[in-house]
Amino acid sequence: MSNAHEPNPVTLRLSAQGEAVQGNFWEQVGGRKTFEKLVRAFYAGIATDEVLLPMYPEQPDLEGAIQRLTGFLEQYWGGPTTYSEERGHPRLRMRHAAFKVNPDARDRWLAHMRAALDTLALPPLQDATLWAYLDRAAHAMVNTFDE
């Protein structure tokens, strides 16, 4: 059973009441609107990428993928828990295991995500915080070094 006062991965300090001292990141950056803007800009890049686009079986309509990634990111950063309520535990590596995620795919993913993140024009600390997570997550998804 989880203790309500345990920090989550993005809560660095807690108040005496168990809340994040610096507030909720999801709220600070603008909530769903911001995360949906990020993800839609990201998938605009994916739609032009000959390596990554085939990894999305529902293409050319990427709306399902857009909603899933938006939901995942907003839940991770303190927003609604809709993602887990609808899909269960994220299990990111398991969900990506069927795809060849090599360093080239990772780097392409990161390039599209960096371009998308730049469209948000977040303050430097928020940009760096979000980017650090996205970079770590992308590196963790690599499951092969085969070309």
The residue with tokens 């780097």 is 107
Q: Which band of pLDDT confidence, cut at 50, 70 and 90, is reported for residue 88?
A: confident
Distance CA 125, CA 65 (A): 28
Specify if 99 maps to a domain: yes
Report yes or no on 130 lying in a domain.
yes
Q: How far apart are CA 5 and CA 105, in angstroms?
A: 38
Extended beta strands in 18-97, E state:
none
Q: What is the pTM of this model?
A: 0.81
pLDDT band at 22 (very low <50, low <70, confident <90, very high): low
What total number of domains does the chain contain? 1
Query: Amino acid letter at 64?
Result: G
Q: Which domain holds residue 83?
A: 30-141
Report if residue 131 sits inside a domain.
yes
CATH code of the domain covering residue 113: 1.10.490.10
